[in-house]
């Protein structure tokens, strides 16, 4: 391996820049030529590729988003698209590719490896929904952003004796909702991983709370739930109609994807970026960098993609004890 490319793919996440910086700088440190691929797999197909120097990644460690930009690329999922991407990669002399993204991006990398590219995956997504890793780059920052919003909503919910319904990101996984729900003292936490009964788990809980002297209520829901029961605004209306308690819905949306990464995201992204390059230097490829039991490890890409991840059931159980 002489030349290594790096790209970010799927949804952007704070800390991706720290990961790009780590990959580029450690690559240069070990004597590789480094290439930046823009807009995810699109850049491989269009040839939006250029050499990266140590200075190209200066002053980005503290910035959210990704300087390489990101995209979802349909063409890359076809054999024709992959073949084209491989020809362009060869034209640029790229021997290996570091992909920073989620499970979808890993699938793309795995398929691309079958065309001869040596790949390495880094977990980057705010949802923490990558099965093979306990932790993903951007998750800590996103949780802190949601926490900050929830604290603000709590102030106004208390002042007006209202119920607040907060919808947070998490299409397939409720890790953000569960953790922020606990940290923010939510009365009800609704996750895609857990079945619930609207009357029993929401309405009865609010009424019981009122009978116990509660004056304000926080309900947090992961966006995956909104497909089943409607989003925060719809839910707020239903709750107000049934309980008579003034209820407001807030959908946090894309604010959760931006912002300066936390120290944890910066340090983990940096360490994982260096680890990816060191493995390539040692001739190891088609691996995924993961965090397992607070250690950075690497896994076979197929093995990583076959894994399943569940919500922390113990934390879920405890959250309902704490919200009486
Ligand atoms: P996030 O969870 O943040 O959305 P992700 O990496 O899971 O991140 P996806 O949109 O699922 O995001 O995937 C990103 C890109 O990876 C896709 O647009 C596509 O180019 C590529 N990709 C996904 N699945 C496959 C697949 N099965 N084969 C080839 N390429 C794929």
This prediction's pTM: 0.96
Supply the pLDDT for residue 130: 95
pLDDT band for position 226 (50/70/90)? confident
Q: Are 310 and 317 in contact (CB under 8 A)?
A: no
Q: Rounded to the nearest 5°, which phi and psi values hold at 298?
A: -125, 145
Mean pLDDT for 253-262 is 97
223 is in an annotated binding site: yes
Q: Which percentage of the chain shows pLDDT scores above 90? A: 93
Mean pLDDT for 230-254 is 96
Supply the pLDDT for residue 227: 81
Residue 215: pLDDT over 90: no
Mean pLDDT for 282-306 is 97
Cα separation of 153 and 219, whole Å?
11
Q: What is the pLDDT of residues 69-79, one digit of tens each?
A: 999 999 999 99
Cα separation of 62 and 56, whole Å?
14
Supply the pLDDT for residue 196: 87
Residue 138: pLDDT over 90: yes
Mean pLDDT for 240-244 is 95
Residue 228: pLDDT over 90: no
Supply the pLDDT for residue 229: 84
74 is in an annotated binding site: no
DSSP state string for 109-131: HHHHHTTT-EEEEEEB-TT---T
Mean pLDDT for 91-118 is 97
Angle between helices 175-183 and 139-160 (to 10 degrees): 50
Pure H helices in the chain: 16-29, 42-46, 79-91, 103-113, 139-160, 175-183, 204-211, 223-229, 232-243, 263-281, 301-306, 313-321
Supply the pLDDT for residue 288: 98
Atom index in ligand 1 nearest the CA of residue 13 equals: 3
Distances (CA, A) of 94 to 3, 52, 58, 275: 5, 13, 23, 19
Complex ipTM? 0.92
Nearest Cα residue to atom 29 of ligand 1? 108
- What is the 104 CA–ligand 1 centroid distance (Å)? 3
- What is the 47 CA–ligand 1 centroid distance (Å)? 19
Nearest Cα residue to atom 25 of ligand 1? 108
């Amino acid at each position: 391996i002489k030349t290594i490319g790096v790209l970010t793919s799927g949804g952007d996440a704070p800390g991706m820049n720290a990961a790009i910086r780590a990959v580029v700088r450690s690559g240069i440190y070990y004597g590789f030529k480094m290439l930046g691929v823009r807009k995810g797999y699109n850049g491989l197909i269009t040839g939006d590729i250029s050499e990266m120097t140590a200075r190209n990644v200066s002053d980005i460690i503290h910035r959210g988003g990704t300087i390489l930009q990101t995209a979802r690329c349909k063409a890359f999922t076809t054999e024709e698209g992959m073949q084209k991407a491989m020809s362009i990669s060869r034209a640029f002399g790229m021997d290996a590719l570091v992909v920073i993204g989620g499970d979808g991006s890993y699938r793309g990398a795995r398929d691309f490896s079958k065309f001869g590219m040596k790949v390495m995956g880094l977990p980057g997504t705010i949802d923490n929904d990558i099965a093979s890793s306990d932790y993903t780059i951007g998750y800590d920052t996103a949780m802190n952003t949601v926490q900050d919003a929830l604290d603000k909503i709590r102030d106004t919910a208390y002042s007006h004796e209202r119920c607040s319904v907060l919808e947070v990101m998490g299409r397939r996984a409720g890790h953000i909702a569960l953790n922020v729900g606990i940290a923010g003292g939510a009365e009800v936490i609704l996750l895609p991983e857990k079945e619930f009964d609207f009357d029993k788990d929401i309405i009865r809980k609010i009424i019981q709370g009122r009978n116990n002297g509660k004056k304000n209520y926080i309900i947090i829901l992961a966006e995956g739930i909104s497909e089943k029961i409607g989003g925060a605004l719809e839910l707020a209306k239903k709750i107000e109609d049934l309980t008579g308690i003034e209820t407001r819905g807030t959908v946090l949306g894309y604010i959760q994807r931006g912002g300066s990464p936390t120290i944890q995201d910066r340090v983990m992204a940096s360490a994982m970026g260096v680890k990816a390059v060191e493995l390539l230097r040692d001739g190891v490829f088609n691996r995924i960098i993961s965090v397992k039991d607070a250690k950075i490890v690497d896994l076979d890409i197929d093995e990583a993609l076959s894994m399943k991840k569940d919500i922390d059931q113990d934390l879920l159980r405890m959250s309902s004890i704490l919200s009486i």
